[in-house]
Structures are given as structure tokens and as C-alpha cells.
Structure 1
Amino acid sequence: MSHHPPQIRIPATYMRGGTSKGVFFRLQDLPPAAQQPGAARDRLLLRVIGSPDPYGKQTDGMGGATSSTSKAVILARSTRPEHDVDYLFGQVAIDSAFVDWSGNCGNLSAAVGSFALAGGLVDAARVPRNGVATVRIWQMNIGKTIVAHVPISDGQVQETGDFELDGVTFPAAEVQLEFLDPAEEGEGGAIFPTGRLVDDLAVPGVGVLKATLINAGIPTIFLNAADLGYTGAELQPDINGDARALAMFEAIRAHGAVRMGLIRDAADAAGRQHTPKVAFVGPPRDYVASSGKPVRAGDVDLLVRALSMGKLHHAMMGTAAVAIAAAAAIPGTLVNLAAGGGARSAVRFGHPSGTLRVGAEARLEDGQWRITKALMSRSARVLMEGWVRVPGDAF
């Protein structure tokens, strides 16, 4: 007689959003123990994704063994006025038993509207037979509103189309996202936590670096590529195989997090991997993207490379793209200066997979910069739907 419990099955949808993918759940479909935050929920999501995996492959789960593909989303009808859906995002660590709830995933935000519409989480009266459905999303991790404009055909989400997103192989339907008031996060509140557009950031073992520390979309530390010995045209192999470079970036991240008021001590950064992000910027130059496609200096306003979960990202995190849009719109930040300086409402930046255009509306109020909204286009697609299975004693 076996003493091992059978597997249970949980309704789930596997979706791509932007250049990420993750497992999406409706809150009501989760086992009761996982319907509230806590250890049971974290253990369940770890098991679904296949973490922690000392082999780093997530073979026994739904994860894809990269930070872009080790993600989970929980959605529910919104309890807040003027919102349709509550969106909670978990970044699942690959080799440790840890789910980071400290930030948003901007890429997967593109899939939230589609999932909410298909899953009956949006009032039918708000969905046109043909046209564009406006889904008002409450991003629970950071307490922000995101508005997704999702195309609808014959009452169904339109997923196919000819919108191309660098970092995603196949075209799909365009989903426009508006991130409203992206800067006023709960932690510190100010878009520039230090009160300065550019800081001198002292990092032991590295030196003093010019840095723009910004809190928009996700807390981000922007550096000049040249100060680090880079150009901004690097691809993943240039950095991810270099242990010294990765250690340097983690030291910068830890000390920047302290300066931003996110943690008290640099040693605390190990428990907060998802935020802040570190990125470096450079002026336009020609390079060849990871797909082999040439990117011309004349096609971009600046180059940006960003690290996520300790590695150089293959494209650009959606939340960091919001930070880029915000920083580019404010004259004098390192991002703005890399793009040539001056006032600008949109930029096209080069990343390892190609280019992306982002926009932001910035204004100066009582001597403080305020970003009213950041805008970008993404796409999303259901890859698979049905049930995920986990052992009944997994959580």
C-alpha cells in the first residue's frame, strides 16, 4: 500500500506576455491553503514552476530556467473601485526556495488583460463585440494602476496579428499598456529617492560611479556603460559568463539599494533579488542583435542593457522599460543624456534582442518631477491551457 498522495490538478493557463512567459491562475481556482499569501502559496508555486532546482533546469516543472520564464501570476476580480482585475506577480527563484513578491512584471502585464477577459474576470458590459477592450488592472505588488488596451474580434480576445516585438520570434496582436503614475511607489514615494537626478554611488571594490537612481515602474539603478568598461552593445554571453562582472553588478545593486532606501544594509540584498534592477546606458552605435539582425546607430536614440535576477536580460524587462521611459523624459538623467539630452516624450532604445519604443509624460510640479504615465506596446498569447498538476503534499 502506497503512502504517497496522488497528484492534484489546478486550473491554469501558460501564457507569453511580452518577452516573458508564466503560469497564470485565477485566485478562486487555487487550493484553499494557497488562496492567501504565505508559505503554502509559495511552496505551491515553487512546485508548479519546478524550483528549487540545483541543476538549474526546472525540468520537473513549468519554468524555463531563466528569470524571464520562471514566473507565476494570480488574478482575481478587483475589489477596488474603477478597476477590473487585481494582478499579483511572483518571481520564482530557480535554484533557491524563494518567491519574490517585491515588484511587478511589466512584460506579463501585457497578458493580464487577455487572461482576465478570457477568464470571465471583466464585466461583459465592458467588452465590445469588436474593437478594443480597456482593462483596468490594479497591480497589487506595487499598488499601481495599469490600463491594457486589448483587441477584440467577435467577442473574443484577438491574439494573432502582425505586431513584431524584438525578443519574440513570431508576430502577434498589439496590446498597448499605460502605466499610470508609475513613480509613486510605496517605498519612499519619490521618483528620485535621493532627491538627485545623478548621484555619486560609492561601491567598495568597484569605485565611485555616476548613477541615476529612479523609482518608476521598478526601482532601477542606471549607470554609464563607459564607466564600467562597456559600450552598451553587449549581448548575454559577454557578461553572463564573466563571474567577476556579475559579482561587480551585484555589489552595485546592493549598495544602490541601500542608497535608494530599499534595504538597510547591503547584506540584505540577497533576500531581495527582483528589485532593484541594474542597467547601463550608452550612446547609439551599430551592433548585431542576438538573433543576428543588425541594429543601426541611426535606428535608436540610445543603448540600454539591464540585469535581472543576477544575469544580463535577453531583451528588456517591461518594468525597466517604464523606468527608461521615465528617466529619458527628464532632462539631465544618465538615460536622458545618453539619448542626447533635452526634452523628449519618447525614445527608441537598443537592447540585446533588438529595439523598443517607449514613451512617458513628465512634468515638473513644485520643484519635483512627476511622471503621469508611461506607454509601451507589447503582445501576448495563450500557449497552453488546462490544469497543472502537483503532488498533493507539495504545499
Structure 2
Amino acid sequence: MPNRLRAAFYRGGTSKAVVFNGKDLPGGQAVRDRIFLHVLGSPDAYGRQLNGMGGGLSSLSKVVIVKPSDRDDADVDYTFVQIAVDEPLADYGSACGNMASCVGPFAVDEGMIDLEPAQTGALVRIYDTNTRRIYHSRFPVADGKAVEEGDVSIPGVSGTGAPVVLEFLTPGGAATGRLLPTGNAVDTLTVEGLGPIRASLIDAANPVVYVRAADLGKTATEQPGVLDGDKDLMSRIEAVRRAGAVAMGMAVTPDEVKRSNPKVAMLGRASQFTSLDGVRHDTASHDLNVRLVSMGNFHRAITLTGGMCTAVAAQVPGSLVQETAGIEGKDLRVGTPSGVLMVTANVRRGADGPEALSAGTFRTQRRLMEGAVLYPAKLLEEPS
């Protein structure tokens, strides 16, 4: 008979994940990773994860672990695990902003947060173990539980929900230790098969390599499926990503670069585009267009950490993002394949260059299912 492991299935922003209470997980990381891969249905040579709870895309192949925190400045710890679809890989090397939206509500519903009986709003302080940063999550509560129903809509999700306001504190240097890992707002990368290409290498919430879409023969208004189908483009994008990672100090050679980070984002000036739901967005509705690659595919919207990194980058003098968006305010409207995302950042000029004080936005979330996932008992055994 299979073993049972208590879990919940959540939508957080434009992603989905199986969410675990840390106290319920058995064994060490190796055992847990085998369980996670089995539960999500990876690896899957067909790319669909039909034998698990994954959805065949990086945004639908995720695990979240939440447990009470021992830190004075946090209520709970949040660990994100990206499960590769096509290989046996559980990657802890990146953060997930979308699933960050469900951590506070999960903690409340699991009884990790003490609430007053008449309390109508909650503030949960969360320590992100992947980036070693703190973020705050604010959302409505009623009768001691997180409220899900509301009138807030976000690009990429049908229907509406209650808002979850996220504020990431000091997001700069989440992976590399520096907002500008090379010290420059713009670098020229020498990319095999492509030659020199200008890029902004920004590390805020997650590291991103920004390039101009025009330098790759694109506009950043294309649909993700069309871009994914361009094998030559995908090969060049991956070469750019690896070159950017080496320049950022994340790897010594291109072959050592992890799949999860950095991301790559193609930038285009604000122009008309049609989102995946068929809505036409005119030039005045957004400040720039972004098409972002995550785990080898163009995201159907944009990773939330990618959106916040873009908001920070738009305030870095001389960056390609600021050059493309042409704004200097705190708020940024990002045109994505699923619509327009509003993000905000607070960046100041420090003694050693720009410093990111905070970045944030709002999401919605929903607890889709709760109960137990099943896995064979042999996964608890160390392989011979």
C-alpha cells in the first residue's frame, strides 16, 4: 500500500504548486526530493506529467514548503522547489513570487499564525530560504481563515479573488549578493553563435538577463507558443542566458549554469499586442513589453520575481529596462503575454550605486484541494 502525506494544492498568482507543512515531511532532502518528483510526475519524456500533479510547464510543476520560523523577524519559513518536467531534478536555486502569495494564507489556515477572533486582515512575515530575504504578505481574513473570494483580477487568471499584497524587502542581490553583479548597468556579452550582444544583468528577487528583443529579431509582442517553436531563437536565448550567468559570477563555465536561474527577458518598447485571452492592449496601456524565459520555455505571463526585478531595473540609470520603458517613477506597467502587470519598486542611489529597498505587487490565491498525496514506501529507502 502507498504511503500518505498530508498536502494542499494551491494556485498562487499564475502558478500552481503542491504545498506541504514542513512538520509533515519525512526524511532528509534526498528522500523528500524523490517524493516530490513522484508526486509531480517527473521526469516525463512526453512533457505532460500525466502520471502526477504537474501540468507540463515550469509554472505548473512546483512544490512549496512552509513551517514556523525560528527568526525574530519572520513568522514562517518558505522554501520553493522547482520540479523539472523532463528530468529528475528538484531545484532549490530560485525563488517563486507567484507561489509566495499562498504562503501567508496557508500558514493562517494551518494554524501557524495566531489571530484575534474579530480580526479582518493579516500580516505574515515570511523568510524566503531560497533567497535568504524577508517579504511581507497582507491579505483579508474572516473567522480565523484566509479569505479567497474578492473582486481583484490579475493577468493570466480567469475570475477574481481577494488581494494578497506582497512587499519584498531589500530584494537586491538575492542570488549573487549584488543588485548589479558586474557593477555595470549594461554589459556586452560575447555569445557563441551570436557574437556581441548588449545586456543588463540585474539581480533583484531573482537574477535576470535583459536583452533587447530587436537584437534577436523579435518585438516582445509575440505569443509564447510561437517563440517556443522557434528552435533557433531558443538556442540563442539559452546561449545568452549561460553567458549572462557566467558574467554574473553564477558559474565558471556555461556548462555549469543551473536551469532555474538566471532567467532571460526580451524587452520591447510599448506597442499594441493581443494577450492570450484575445484582449487587445494598446500602446498607452503599458510602459514596455517583456517576454521572459523560465526553465527553457517562454512564460505565459511573467514570473512575479521577474516582474519585480523589472520594476527595480527600470529605476537603474542606464539599464536597458530604463532605456526601453523611458520612465523614472516607482510604478511600472509590464506588458506580458497574459496582459498588463503593475509592479512597484523603491530604489535609491547609495554610495556604491543603486540600492533596492523594496519591490512589490499584488496577487490572488486559492486553495484548490486539500488531503493527502500518495507515494510508494520504497522512496523512503536509500538506493543501493
For 1:97-116, list aligned pairs within 5 A.
97-116=88-107
Runs of 4+ in 1 over 3 A off after TM superposition: none
Contact 2:43 2:84 in 1 (8 A): yes
Match of 1:360 in 2: 345
Q: Within 1, Cα distance between the matches of 2:90 and 2:226?
A: 28
Q: What value does the CA root-mean-square deviation take over the aligned residues? A: 1.1
Q: Which amino acid in structure 2 is aligned with residue 160 of structure 1?
A: E
| Residue 164 (structure 1) aligned with residue 149 (structure 2) | no
* SS across alignment from 1:79: coil
* Counterpart AA for 1:357: M
Instruction: Read off the aligned partner of 1:333 and give its amino acid letter.
Output: S
One-letter amino acid of the counterpart of residue 52, structure 1: P
Assess if the C-alpha contact under 8 Å between 1:27 and 1:75 holds in 2.
yes
Judge which range, 63-72 or 148-157, deviates more.
148-157
Q: Aligned to 1:191, what secondary structure does the other structure show?
A: coil
Q: TM-score by structure 2 length?
A: 0.97
Name the counterpart of 1:297.
283
The equivalent of 1:14 in structure 2 is 9
Consecutive unaligned residues of structure 2, counting only runs of 5 or more, are none
TM-score by length of 1: 0.94
Q: Percent identity?
A: 40
Q: Alpha-carbon deviations, 1:77-113, whole Å to 9, x = none?
A: 0011121100000000011000110011110000111
Question: Greater CA deviation, 9-18 or 239-248?
Answer: 239-248
Find out whether 1:148 has 2:153 as its counterpart: no
Cα 1:128/1:334, change in 2 over 3 Å: farther
Name the structure 2 match of 1:381. Answer: 366
Which one is further off, 320-329 or 9-18?
Answer: 320-329
* Rounded Cα–Cα distance in structure 1 between residues aligned with 2:231 and 2:188: 25
Q: Is the 8 A contact 1:329 1:346 kept in 2?
A: no
CA–CA distance in structure 1, aligned partners of residues 66 and 234 of structure 2: 34
Tell whether 2:334 aligns with 1:349: yes
1: distance between equivalents of 2:294 and 2:360? 21
Partner of 1:202: 190
Q: Is 1:175 the equivalent of 2:170?
A: no
| Distance of 2:379 and 2:228 partners within structure 1 | 33
Alpha-carbon displacement from aligned partner over 1:305-364 (angstroms, at most 9, x marks no partner): 1000011100010111111111012232111111114x2111101000001000000001
Corresponding residue pairs, total = 380
Q: CA deviation at 1:190?
A: 1.3
| Contact persistence 2:173–2:205 (CA under 8 A) | no
1:309 match: 295
Q: Which residue of 2 aligns with 1:370?
A: 355
> Within 1, Cα distance between the matches of 2:284 and 2:245?
34
Match of 1:328 in 2: 314
Aligned partners of 2:175 and 2:203 also within 8 Å? no
Aligned residue in 1 for 2:60: 69
Structure 1 residue 128: Cα displacement: 6.6
AA partner of residue 18 (structure 2): V
CA distance in 2, matches of 1:317, 1:185: 15
Matched residues in 1 for 2:2 and 2:159: separation? 35
Letter paired with 2:162: A
Report the Cα distance in structure 2 between the residues aligned to 1:394 and 1:50, rounded to whole angstroms. 14
